Amino acid sequence: MPNTPEAPREYWIAPRYLANADADGSEAVQPLLDVGWASSRDTEGNTFVTAPDLSARLAHLPEADGPVLWKISAGPDAFAPPDWLVTFDGRTPPEVVTDFTGALADAWTHGPDGYLGNNQDGGAETVLELLARGWHFDPATPFLSYQSPDRLVQLHIRDKPLRHSAEMAGDTERWLFEVGPARACWYATASSRLPDHLLQQLTTAITHPAPVQRHMRRIDLEHLPATATVTPTAPNSLEAARFQAATARSLSAPRPTPSALGLNTAPAVPVRPAGRTR
State the pTM of this model. 0.82
Low-confidence ranges of the chain (pLDDT < 70): 1-6, 235-278
Amino acid 235: pLDDT = 64
Amino acid 278: pLDDT = 37
pLDDT tens digits, residue range 5-39?
667 889 999 999 999 898 888 999 999 999 999 99
- Measured in Å, how far apart are the chain's first and last C-alpha atoms? 93
Amino acid 122: pLDDT = 85
pLDDT tens digits, residue range 222-243?
888 888 999 998 765 554 555 4
